A and B are shown apart, each in its own frame.
Chain A
Amino acid sequence: MGIEVRGLTKTFGRFVALKDVSLSVASGELVALLGPSGSGKTTLLRIIAGLEAADTGSVILEGEDATDRNARDRRVGFVFQHYALFRHMSVFENVAFGLRVRPRSLRPDEAEIGRRVRRLLELVQLDFMADRRPSELSGGQRQRVALARALAVEPKVLLLDEPFGALDARVRQELRRWLRRLHDDIHLTSVFVTHDQEEALELADRVAVMNHGVIEQDGTPEDVVERPATPFVISFLGTVNIFHGRVQDGRGIFGPLAVEYPVHADSEPRTAAAYTRPHEFDVSRTETGSGLWAVLEQVSATGAMVRLELAGAHGGLIHAELGRDQFERLGVQPGDRLYVTPRKVRVFVE
């Protein structure tokens, strides 16, 4: 097992950053901690690194209890959100730092340090920048130097805090793919923190979705997208339509929507909500059974998909998404009445 975290709790004054969090990451796995700001994801990462001490709970790295071990002795690679490169050192010296501060008996000689640093700089494609200062590099290059520096100490696990947060969209895309390839090559147990669901889903083997200091769901990207465990997960992973209502006698009634809900066969009604993603609607000009109709308000065409904003007859706004040709076949204008039928509904009882 690469990383095993058990029952971590951490408070800052009155703010509870983590509530009894447990997580395990298999050797060689790439896991994303996904959540909004303040959800505790960075705190969890920092506790794994030893930069923050948990109030309770334990951290086990490669089978060894590291809870009380100093960050210095944990052999983790950490990439900071703003890189935290040593600004007064060259790129070469930044990468060499972890080797130079080793006790004399474990320190490689100068020639060996040179070889290793050059190999790492080649790996991150920055060998021609060895003599530059961090301030002379672009954001993407700084990020790669930070990665090379973290890898120089041959860490057992690699932790990355918002690794692409401070970069512009294109560099972010490139670097994301590059990091995935790198991970596939070296198979280092890695955890990264992000607030960007697309990033998490594209890059990670497994995603832990966090909110208010707890892990709401921990699963493969497909799991969290297709089988969200909580209303928070479904809301956080993209736009979703919410219909409020109740469940009773094996049925769910959400305004104009009625669905089978065998899980709750009781005659006692309970408040619930139904969730449908924009692309999970069938849209037509003729009535199709669900009885949910709406007036088209706005159309925005971005790329292959067309987004519709509809004012529902039940009073709420409905977001739907169609393929471009499908939309053209429909031939509608703002102000037209449309019938929308969800193909898929997820019900969560409150």
Chain B
Amino acid sequence: MTSELRAARLTEPRPVRWGITALALGFVALFLVVPLIAVFAEAFAKGFNAYRAAIAEPDAVAALKLTLLAAGIAVPLNVVFGLAAGWAIGKFQFRGRQLLLTLIDLPFAVSPVISGLVFVLLFGRRGWFGPWMIDHGFQIVFAVPGIVLATIFVSFPFVAREIIPIMEAIGTEEEEAARVLGAGGLQLFLRVTLPNIKWALLYGVILANARAMGEFGAVSVVSGHIRGLTNTLPLHVEILYNEYNAQAAFAVASLLGCLAIVTLVLKAIIEARVERSGTPAEQRAIEVMPWESKSAV
């Protein structure tokens, strides 16, 4: 019996293997690739000039600007929060640590529409703080601040979730070594901590950015859909589509499609980099208890 035949005997029969693979690929093609192609095909259905016109239209430009603004505010805040949460959870033991870990996932667990409604409840005209804020000249819901708040809410777990496992795996020894060697807090962060987590941080930023730019539900609730003022790209796509302007809708949607492709490419590059440099968890197999090293006596 040849080795190939023997190998075939030991695993599933060929038709089964092929069937399963074909099923997986078929799903990907049907639900991911075909729609993406359809978006671009529709966008260019009336030619390049119509495409350019749809994108250059003032309301579309305003939507793009608002999307960039919301992401531009949400993502940096995300980084700050993610680093703080990652540091706290990865390096300290404290009461409520587990609770914090669970709460970070809240935006994933809650429907985006509900998160949007929460902000309406808090800051709307008849909300808890809404009347006071409107009296003092702060319009939050149905205005740009509401959109920024909703975007922050739905995107904030991403950076933290990427950083926490890395911080936990690396532990505190390198920071302790740096401290004994005379490094101050900032030096310690810039020279030791940041280089160790930079890829995870970047990965989290990319994911957070994709979510921030693509978010529909939460933003839709707080936006009020005022054209040229409170519409982000996804909302603008919806409006155009509802007006039976399919070509323009797909043209704007293709911008988001490009964002998705860029995100995927960056993600692949970062994953390749991380694989080459080796994950920190692999480099250290032995865990150390905070007060005493485990050692075989």
Instruction: Report whether chain A binds chain B.
Output: yes
Q: Which residues of A contact B (CB under 8 A)?
A: 12, 15, 17, 36-43, 49-52, 70-74, 76-78, 80-82, 84-89, 97-98, 101-102, 135, 149-150, 152-153, 161-162, 165-166, 195
Indicate if B196 sits at the interface (CB-CB under 8 A).
yes
Contact A38 B195 (CB under 8 A): no
* Chain A residues positioned under 8 Å from B25 (CB to CB): none
8 pairs, A vs B, C-beta closer than 8 Å: A42-B292, A70-B179, A72-B183, A80-B173, A84-B173, A86-B191, A101-B178, A166-B286
Q: How large is the interface on B (under 10, 10 to 19, 20 to 34, 35 or more residues)?
A: 20 to 34
Name the residue in A85, A98, A101, A149 with the highest tally of chain B Cβ atoms < 10 Å from its Cβ.
A101
Contact B286 A88 (CB under 8 A): no
Closest 4 CB pairs of A and B: A84-B173, A98-B181, A84-B177, A101-B183
Partner of B180, one of A38, A42, A76, A81: A76
Q: Measured between alpha carbons, how far is A333 from B39 in the docked complex, in Å?
A: 89
* Chain B residues positioned under 8 Å from A150 (CB to CB): 180-181
Partner of B293, one of A76, A84, A161: A161
Min Cβ gap B13→A in Å is: 43
With contact pairs A80-B173, A101-B191 given, residues A42 and B184 touching in the complex (Cβ less than 8 Å): no
Partner of A72, one of B179, B192, B284, B291: B179
Min Cβ gap B199→A in Å is: 11
Contact A97 B181 (CB under 8 A): yes
Question: Which residues B184-223 have CB closer than 8 A to chain A?
Answer: 184, 187, 191-192, 195-196
Indicate if B297 sits at the interface (CB-CB under 8 A).
yes
Min Cβ gap B252→A in Å is: 42
With contact pairs A17-B291, A101-B184, A161-B293 given, residues A88 and B178 touching in the complex (Cβ less than 8 Å): no
* Chain A residues positioned under 8 Å from B107 (CB to CB): none
Min Cβ gap A146→B in Å is: 8
Interface string of B137-174 (1 = CB under 8 A from A): 00000000000000000000000000000000000011
* Chain A residues positioned under 8 Å from B297 (CB to CB): 36-37, 195
Q: Measured between alpha carbons, how far is A152 from B184 in the docked complex, in Å?
A: 17
Contact B181 A149 (CB under 8 A): yes
Min Cβ gap B281→A in Å is: 12
Q: Measured between alpha carbons, how far is A72 from B186 in the docked complex, in Å?
A: 13
Contact A162 B295 (CB under 8 A): yes
Indicate if B19 sits at the interface (CB-CB under 8 A).
no
With contact pairs A87-B280, A153-B182 given, residues A165 and B295 touching in the complex (Cβ less than 8 Å): yes
Interface string of B68-84 (1 = CB under 8 A from A): 00000000000000000
Indicate if B11 sits at the interface (CB-CB under 8 A).
no
* Chain B residues positioned under 8 Å from A153 (CB to CB): 181-182
Min Cβ gap B131→A in Å is: 48
* Chain A residues positioned under 8 Å from B283 (CB to CB): 87, 135
* Chain B residues positioned under 8 Å from A41 (CB to CB): 292
Name the residue in B288, B292, B294 with the highest tally of chain A Cβ atoms < 10 Å from its Cβ.
B292
Indicate if B176 sits at the interface (CB-CB under 8 A).
yes
Indicate if B278 sits at the interface (CB-CB under 8 A).
yes
Contact B176 A42 (CB under 8 A): no
Partner of A81, one of B195, B288, B290: B288
Contact B182 A43 (CB under 8 A): no
Contact B293 A162 (CB under 8 A): yes
* Chain B residues positioned under 8 Å from A89 (CB to CB): 195
Contact A82 B288 (CB under 8 A): yes
* Chain B residues positioned under 8 Å from A82 (CB to CB): 173, 284, 286, 288
- B185 nearest in chain A by CB position: A72
* Chain B residues positioned under 8 Å from A43 (CB to CB): 291-292
Contact B181 A51 (CB under 8 A): no
With contact pairs A80-B173, A87-B280 given, residues A37 and B180 touching in the complex (Cβ less than 8 Å): no
Name the residue in B174, B180, B278 with the highest tally of chain A Cβ atoms < 10 Å from its Cβ.
B180
